């Protein structure tokens, strides 16, 4: 771990213009940093590849039809519309030039640059397949709104296909759902798919019984919810088993294909589980922007691609660049929303102190994380909560989960509609977001094809240009 920034770099902008802060990412880190700068004498530009702020902890409720996309992903532009010093820009950042203090981004086919005096990078993390990226096609993860909508369509599509197929073996494959990764997301997904099958879809099919669906939660680790400890992990496991979820631990996934999944057990034997719908929630890797920053500075990255930051969340030799949230590695802090929120706010406060009060980076106090605890839902009316030594499971934990998630949802209207959707769900198994479209199922493959066509077109254009250049030289 490197020490806090000591460089006496002045944070103020050249005379005649305001200090420019560029923030990459509109997730928890980016949005809270921008909001912290609301009253600061700076110009803030928040650039992100999506136009919304995504509340990732509730993505599984979109994937299983409880909440609508709008409730968990309000437009960033509208959240920040009254913040006069903030500009929201849609753009996928592909290059950060540390020496020139600028970054390059694109929105569709439009390219643009952004210059900064201070930079806060909060580009988060993606799903990791531990070097087996080809698994993704058959076992999508859940990181984005697109992922959740695709998964919802895949899940519902399996029930629909099972209803019309005559072949019994194929019907069983269609009604087998495998969730890889028994962390909070895997537990939440397994619980919800089981509830969907047993309660929400009850009596709605004529040839199949949705409750006969097999829901399997598997993990290479020996425990459910390892970060929550044995007691809470076992409580979650017991509740899931009560709901009919099969838990398979110490089971290492060795392959994923169209047909199903291949698993290696501790005794070395390999077996297959035929399943049409596979969901991946087993690991994360940080945004590749982290490696780019490390390559240009003295910073290092860890195995998950996270940047080892200084104690003040800046990069060695670059006090003007902060990396926060899921992209950063500091003191083994977990990849959770509170780390990103507190990191984003901390970075913004350092910038304010230096721009408005003339402080120097050397005067920064180290970032201190305040652990407010962690929680995960298992099913309706059942959750687990860990706050330091305090461990709670069951109904009370679930009420706490409900209150905290409502409090952190962005926007008053969203909180009201979410409460209404939850009320409907709790009161009568009603899920109002069970729409599924063909595009959501096939969009990933279509986009892959479009990207490949684009790349081929660009390379053909380049070689034509090179040929005509060499012809004119001749
Ligand atoms: C399914 C799921 C459930 C979770 N549940 C919980 C939970 O219950 N409790 C909890 O505390 N945490 C939970 N987490 C973790 C939590 O959501 C993350 O720790 C948090 O979102 C990290 O915030 P961040 O700002 O670092 O990144 P993110 O919130 O991921 O935001 C990253 C932002 O960067 C943008 N971006 C990425 N790359 C680029 C680029 N190249 N150019 C421009 N923009 C870019 C993205 O569009 C996004 O706006 C969950 C995560 C997931 C995926």
pLDDT digits (tens, 9 = 90+) for 131-141: 999 999 899 99
Asked if residue 442 is part of any domain, the answer here is no
Q: Is pLDDT at 255 greater than 80 in this prediction?
A: yes
Q: What is the 3-state secondary structure (H, E, C) of 314-375?
A: EECCEEEEEECHHHEECCCCCCCHHHHHHHHHHHHHHHHHHHHHCCCHHHCCCCCCCCCCEE
Per the structure, the count of domains in the chain is 2
C-alpha of residue 56 to centroid of ligand 1, in Å: 6
Residues 262 and 142 in one domain: yes
Q: Please compute the mean of the pLDDT values over residues 76-93 and round it to a whole number.
A: 97
Can you tell me the distance from the alpha carbon of 141 to that of 147, in angstroms, rounded to the nearest whole number?
7
C-alpha of residue 54 to centroid of ligand 1, in Å: 7
What's residue 12's pLDDT?
Answer: 59
Residues 233 and 97 in one domain: no
Spatial strand order of the sheet with 176-180 comes to: 246-248, 214-218, 176-180, 277-280
CATH code for position 243: 3.50.50.100
In this structure, the residue with its CA closest to atom 20 of ligand 1 is 337
Q: Is 316 in the pocket of ligand 1 (CB under 6 A)?
A: no
What's residue 222's pLDDT?
Answer: 96
Residues 276 and 334 in one domain: no
- Domain end call among 319, 338, 363: 363
Neighbouring residues of 406: CB distance < 8 A, sequence distance ≥ 6: 415, 418, 419
Residues 149 and 262 in one domain: yes
Asked if residue 331 is part of any domain, the answer here is yes
Mean pLDDT computed over every residue of the chain = 92
Q: Is 93 in the pocket of ligand 1 (CB under 6 A)?
A: yes
By mean pLDDT, which of 67-71, 176-180, 420-424 is the weakest? Answer: 420-424
Q: Is pLDDT at 49 greater than 90 in this prediction?
A: yes
What's residue 231's pLDDT?
Answer: 95
Q: Is 140 in the pocket of ligand 1 (CB under 6 A)?
A: no
Asked if residue 298 is part of any domain, the answer here is yes
Q: Is 24 in the pocket of ligand 1 (CB under 6 A)?
A: yes
What pLDDT, in 10s, does the model give residues 310-345?
Answer: 999 999 999 999 999 999 999 999 999 999 999 999
Q: Is 36 in the pocket of ligand 1 (CB under 6 A)?
A: no
Residues 277 and 159 in one domain: yes
What's residue 453's pLDDT?
Answer: 80
C-alpha of residue 83 to centroid of ligand 1, in Å: 23
By mean pLDDT, which of 233-247, 372-386, 457-471 is the weakest? Answer: 457-471
Q: Is pLDDT at 11 greater than 70 in this prediction?
A: no
Pocket test for ligand 1, best of 73, 123, 339 (most atoms within 8 A of CB): 123
Q: Is 279 in the pocket of ligand 1 (CB under 6 A)?
A: no
Q: Are 406 and 418 a contacting pair, CB within 8 Å?
A: yes
Residues 196 and 102 in one domain: no
Neighbouring residues of 366: CB distance < 8 A, sequence distance ≥ 6: 4, 311, 312
Q: What are the residues facing 279 on neighbouring strands?
A: 179
Residues 155 and 247 in one domain: yes
Q: Is pLDDT at 410 greater than 90 in this prediction?
A: no
Q: Is 325 in the pocket of ligand 1 (CB under 6 A)?
A: yes
Q: Is 291 in the pocket of ligand 1 (CB under 6 A)?
A: no
- Domain end call among 228, 261, 282: 282
Q: Which domain holds residue 300?
A: 19-49+91-127+284-363
In this structure, the residue with its CA closest to atom 19 of ligand 1 is 336
What's residue 470's pLDDT?
Answer: 77
Residues 262 and 147 in one domain: yes
Cβ-based neighbour number of residue 416 at 10 Å = 13
Q: Are strands 42-48 and 125-127 parallel, antiparallel or unpaired?
A: unpaired
Q: Is pLDDT at 6 greater than 70 in this prediction?
A: no
In this structure, the residue with its CA closest to atom 38 of ligand 1 is 123
- Give the nearest ligand 1 atom to 339 CA: 19
Can you tell me the distance from the alpha carbon of 22 to that of 112, in angstroms, rounded to the nearest whole number?
14
Most confident of 106-110, 248-252, 404-408: 248-252
Nearest residue to 236 (alpha-carbon basis) of 55, 124, 377, 356? 377
User: What is the reported pTM?
Assistant: 0.90
Residues 215 and 171 in one domain: yes
Q: Is 23 in the pocket of ligand 1 (CB under 6 A)?
A: no
Q: Are 96 and 75 a contacting pair, CB within 8 Å?
A: no
Known active-site residue 242? no
What pLDDT, in 10s, does the model give residues 270-296?
Answer: 999 999 999 999 989 999 999 999 999
What's residue 430's pLDDT?
Answer: 81
Q: Is pLDDT at 472 greater than 80 in this prediction?
A: no
Residue tagged active-site, from 71, 188, 195, 354: 188
CATH code for position 330: 3.50.50.60
In this structure, the residue with its CA closest to atom 12 of ligand 1 is 336
In this structure, the residue with its CA closest to atom 46 of ligand 1 is 25
Residues 232 and 297 in one domain: no
Q: Are 390 and 397 a contacting pair, CB within 8 Å?
A: no
C-alpha of residue 461 to centroid of ligand 1, in Å: 36
Asked if residue 384 is part of any domain, the answer here is no
What's residue 441's pLDDT?
Answer: 74
- Give the nearest ligand 1 atom to 336 CA: 19
Residues 119 and 173 in one domain: no
- Give the nearest ligand 1 atom to 327 CA: 26
Compare 143 and 449 and report the one with higher pLDDT: 143
Q: Please compute the mean of the pLDDT values over residues 198-209 and round it to a whole number.
A: 94
Residues 276 and 144 in one domain: yes
Q: Is 318 in the pocket of ligand 1 (CB under 6 A)?
A: no
* Burial class of residue 388 (count of CB atoms within 10 Å of its CB; 0-12, 13-18, 19+): exposed
Asked if residue 271 is part of any domain, the answer here is yes
What's residue 471's pLDDT?
Answer: 74
- Domain end call among 363, 383, 417: 363
Q: Are 23 and 46 a contacting pair, CB within 8 Å?
A: yes
C-alpha of residue 376 to centroid of ligand 1, in Å: 16
Kindly list the distances between the CA atom of residue 297 and the CA atoms of 10, 25, 103, 283, 450, in Å, as whole numbers in the listed order: 19, 21, 15, 27, 35
């Amino acid at each position: 771990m490197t020490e806090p920034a000591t460089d006496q770099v002045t944070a103020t902008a050249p005379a005649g213009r305001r200090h420019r802060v560029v923030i990459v990412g509109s997730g928890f880190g980016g949005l809270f940093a921008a909001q912290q700068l609301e009253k600061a004498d700076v110009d803030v530009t928040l650039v992100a590849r999506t136009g919304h702020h995504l509340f990732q902890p509730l993505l599984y409720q979109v994937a299983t039809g409880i909440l609508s996309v709008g409730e968990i992903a309000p437009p960033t532009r509208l959240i920040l519309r009254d913040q006069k010093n903030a500009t929201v820009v849609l753009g996928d950042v592909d290059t950060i030039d540390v020496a020139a203090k600028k970054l390059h981004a694109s929105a569709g086919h439009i390219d643009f640059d952004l210059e900064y005096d201070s930079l806060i990078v909060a580009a988060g993390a993606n799903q990791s397949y531990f070097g087996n990226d080809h698994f993704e096609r058959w076992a999508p993860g859940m990181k984005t709104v697109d992922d959740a909508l695709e998964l919802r369509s895949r899940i519902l599509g399996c029930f629909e296909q099972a209803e019309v197929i005559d072949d019994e073996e194929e019907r069983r494959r269609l009604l087998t759902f495998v969730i890889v990764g028994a962390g909070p997301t895997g537990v939440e997904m397994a619980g919800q798919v089981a509830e969907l099958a047993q309660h929400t879809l009850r009596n709605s099919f004529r040839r199949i019984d949705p409750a006969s669906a097999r829901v399997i939660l598997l993990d290479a680790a020996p425990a459910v919810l390892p970060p929550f400890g044995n007691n809470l992990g076992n409580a979650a496991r017991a509740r899931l088993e009560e709901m009919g979820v099969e838990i398979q631990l110490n089971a290492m996934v060795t392959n994923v294909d169209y047909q199903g999944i291949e698993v290696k057990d501790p005794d070395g034997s390999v077996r297959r589980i035929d399943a049409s719908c596979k969901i991946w929630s087993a690991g994360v890797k940080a945004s590749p922007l982290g490696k780019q920053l490390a390559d240009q500075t003295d910073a290092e990255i860890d195995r998950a691609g996270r940047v080892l930051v200084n104690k003040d969340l800046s990069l060695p030799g670059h006090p003007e660049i902060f990396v926060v949230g899921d992209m950063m590695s500091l003191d083994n802090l977990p990849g959770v929303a509170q780390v990103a929120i507190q990191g984003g706010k901390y970075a913004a406060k350092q910038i304010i102190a230096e721009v408005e009060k003339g402080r120097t980076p050397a005067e920064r106090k180290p970032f201190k994380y305040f652990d407010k605890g962690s929680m995960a839902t298992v099913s309706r009316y059942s959750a687990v909560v860990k706050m330091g030594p305090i461990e709670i499971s069951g109904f009370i934990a679930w009420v706490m989960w409900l209150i905290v998630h409502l409090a952190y949802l962005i926007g008053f209207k969203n909180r009201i509609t979410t409460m209404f959707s939850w009320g409907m769900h709790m009161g009568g198994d009603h899920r109002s977001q069970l729409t599924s479209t063909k595009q959501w199922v096939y969009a990933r493959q279509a986009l892959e094809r479009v990207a490949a066509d684009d790349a081929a077109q660009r390379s053909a254009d380049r070689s034509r240009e090179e040929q005509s250049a060499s012809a004119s030289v001749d």
